[in-house]
Structure 1
Amino acid sequence: MAVIVRTRKIRPSTRKSTSVNYRVEISKVGKDDTLEVEVSHESNSFLRTYYFHGKDIANKNNISFKVIQEVPEIEILWSGASPFKVE
């Protein structure tokens, strides 16, 4: 049982305004593992860590999230899996 860590940084300065989806590669996550995804933002203090059970994502190559940015709030909507814990 391993903890697999992935990090993603929200970078609106380098993406088109219509490009709001971010992919997380998870092909090496096994059914007994835990996936930890740290999401931060390039220009503010936003930082969230999302935890996923390996059994829910073990047969997938990736999951993704959509960023909804309404100043000053940022909302993350997951596709392909739902986190069991958010910090």
Structure 2
Amino acid sequence: MSVIIRNRTIRPSTRNVKSAYRIQVTNAKPENLIIIFIDHESADFRVIYKCTGAFFQERDSIYFKVKVINNKPTILWSGSNEPELVR
């Protein structure tokens, strides 16, 4: 089993707040572990999600948008499936 790591930084200083962020994973095997780190360029914010490569067998990308709720960034995944939040 391989581990695939993806990092994304939320950048409101250079990005439209309505734009989606893409997490791309190509050629993942179902048994691979995918770990997604999302942080913010200026806020004290970091979340970690995980899933298996099986999540990417029907597609090579997933998308999320960021909404600020109570002055805190919140991740909103597109579609009905989303990776598991690591707490």
Structure 1 length-normalised TM: 0.85
Could you say which residue in structure 1 is the equivalent of 2:32?
Answer: 33
Partner of 2:13: 13
Aligned twin of 2:78: 79
Please give the root-mean-square deviation of Cα atoms over the aligned residues, in Å: 1.6
Structure 1 stretches (4+) deviating beyond 3 angstroms? none
C-alpha spacing 1:74/1:17, structure 2 compared with 1 (3 Å):
closer
Unaligned runs of 5+ in 2: none
The unaligned stretches of length 5 or more in structure 1 are none
Contact 2:39 2:45 in 1 (8 A): yes
CA offset at residue 10 of structure 1? Answer: 0.0
TM-score by length of 2: 0.85
Whole-angstrom distance in 1 between the partners of 2:42 and 2:61: 26
* CA shift for structure 1 position 82: 1.7
The offset of 1:72, in angstroms, is 1.8
Identity %: 36
Structural mapping, 1:41-80, within 5 Å: 41-80=40-79
Cα-to-partner distance string for 1:25-46 (whole Å, 9 max, x where unaligned): 1113211101100000000110
